[in-house]
A and B are shown apart, each in its own frame.
Chain A
Amino acid sequence: DAGVTQSPTHLIKTRGQQVTLRCSPKSGHDTVSWYQQALGQGPQFIFQYYEEEERQRGNFPDRFSGHQFPNYSSELNVNALLLGDSALYLCASSGWRGEIYNEQFFGPGTRLTVL
């Protein structure tokens, strides 16, 4: 059973460009969340997708947008890249199991460098 997968592993872009990151959730999961982890910091919540809709959003500008497909996979798009967007972008998936806490499983991340 494959866990959460993300592509690409690494990415280098220049300021002003646009980038698309991809995530495939763990088998059986229908909810995908995206986090940004700057160097030496904890992950920060960007947004969450469920049933192809954005369900929750963190404190990130509109330059950050996403999409979820019918097969539950997801994309994160960032427009007009800034140097400060350089970070590890983590995808986490979860699925309702009727328990008190539904664990979020994280992928290995995509490391984005903006020059």
Chain B
Amino acid sequence: QKEVEQDPGPLSVPEGAIVSLNCTYSNSAFQYFMWYRQYSRKGPELLMYTYSSGNKEDGRFTAQVDKSSKYISLFIRDSQPSDSATYLCAMSGDNTDKLIFGTGTRLQVFP
């Protein structure tokens, strides 16, 4: 079993839709939870991070962490074609910079 599981998609939605992306994990030592966006032929860029449980909002993006269920989510409101990319969840524990990534979910937003 992988430490981090993520549905690879692809996910295809119309412009303006609400998108929900999810990851589950097995290691209870994870404390930092990140969402990265990766465009084709580019390196990942950090969208949001959350420490421990809770919600965090940044513009059209909301990240949620439920440590009791070992489940994290990223919601994208009013999705735009420019949001079309691969979304990677990543996690790490205290006292380490080692990131454990999910496989990534490919999202396509069509006009």
Contacts and interface: CB of A to CB of B under 8 A. Distances in A.
Contacts, number: 59
B36 to A, nearest CB: 8
A70 to B, nearest CB: 21
Interface residues of A, number: 26
Given A4-B43, A56-B96, A101-B32, A42 B101 contact: yes
Interface stretch (B12-20, B45-53, B60-68): B45-53
B98 A56 contact: yes
Contacts of A48: 97-98
B73 interface: no
Contacts of A103: 46, 49
Interface stretch (A11-19, A60-68, A74-82, A106-114): A106-114
A31 interface: yes
List 8 A-B pairs, minimum CB-CB distance, nearest first.
A42-B101, A106-B43, A45-B98, A106-B44, A42-B103, A108-B43, A43-B101, A107-B43
Contacts of B98: 33, 45, 48, 56, 58
B51 to A, nearest CB: 5
Interface string A31-46: 1010100001111110
B55 interface: no
Contacts of B4: 42
Contacts of B101: 35, 42-44
B51 A101 contact: yes
A71 interface: no
